[in-house]
Amino acid sequence: MTTHRTEQVSVDAMIEDLRVLVETESPSRDVEALTASAKVVASVIESRLGGQAVLVESEAGPHVHWSGGAEPRVLVLGHHDTVFPLGTLERRPFLVQDGHVTGPGVFDMLGGLVQAVHGLASLEDRSGVEILVTADEEVGSRSSRALIEERALACGAVLVLEGAADGGALKTGRKGCGTFQVSIAGRASHAGLEPAAGVNALVEAAHQVLDITALGRPEIGTTVTPTVASAGTLDNVVPAGATVIVDVRVESDAEKERVESAFAALAPHLDEAEISVEGGLGRPPMPESAAAELFAVAQRLLPGIEGKAVGGGSDGNFTAALGVPTLDGLGAVGGGAHADHEYVVIEAMAERANLVASLVTELQRR
């Protein structure tokens, strides 16, 4: 089987559907905007594939679920929330020029969603196929994780529509990732009259940042990166409180356990300072073994395609951790995720749509 069936998908139609999705802004945590977005996503799916796309309500906003009927065999997984606030579209409108499509969310990951829908539309038989498009992937998938895991186990194979790795490579492994918030409680005092009467939470935070950074083991893929800090109220007051937010990425379950234990054991350096820790590694690592079977199929379908392990997480981390074969990075070829220069390469859109369709056909035969 070849994936080069470009005559069966219309790039112009894909671009037009992508325009509709991008121009319905969908920032994470904005339930009203995500509700409007979910309805548009459902409309696009129904118009191309028929049937009914069901809105699954959640506190984060509606997830969209569609089924081709019959025994489930493959879950096509994506999300419709984006990282960009309302109003971004006015500053950075949807554009098609110089072989690229640009606009908020085109690469992460509305382009991949459109490609998959059009790829599936080229198939006469869509039985056994499910599509799940969630509303909270960019903020940890707390409301959708159980549903993702349920459908992944039911289907037995997962194709994730996140954007491709550099050069169009598929994503065959991902680090586990999460965020910790370290809060320091000190005691305020006058910075000029009696600074020693206070307990300086900012100074304690500085000690903690050094301790936290030392937890990283980049030589084995563990990165521990303080990213946001805040402390104090006025320039003449010893700070009574401080917070430090930390991004953590790991490649193994053993490192996940080590880092989480280390955060739980953080101890203050200053007398009377108190420390509390929230958060954790919410996404488990996605080992390359989880993608091996499906990646081999993809290589046969599209000779020369490469696979890469990457540092970012996706909902594929959850499905891989269950032991469900999972292949990621099947979405758009492009770059600039979460950045103003985000783009999709138009020339690659038809090939990626056909790759998804061909993988689905292979999985239907099992």
Set 17, 25, 30, 81: catalytic member: 81
Three-state secondary structure readout of the chain = CCCCCHHHCCHHHHHHHHHHHHCCCCECCCHHHHHHHHHHHHHHHHHHHCCCCEEECCCCCCEEEEECCCCCCEEEEEECCECCCCCHHHHCCCEEECCEEECCCHHHHHHHHHHHHHHHHCCCCCCCEEEEEECCHHHCCCCCHHHHHHHHHHHCCEEECCCCCHHHCEEEEECEEEEEEEEEECECCECCCCHHHCECHHHHHHHHHHHHHCCCEHHHCEEEEEEEEEECCCCCECCCEEEEEEEEEECCHHHHHHHHHHHHCCCCCCCCCEEEEEEEEEECCECHHHCHHHHHHHHHHCCCCCEEEECCCCCHHHHHHCCCCEEECCCCCEECCCCCCCEEEHHHHHHHHHHHHHHHHHHHCC
Residue 137 annotated as catalytic? yes
Residue 136 annotated as catalytic? no
Set 137, 138, 255, 260: catalytic member: 137
Please identify every residue annotated as catalytic: 81, 137
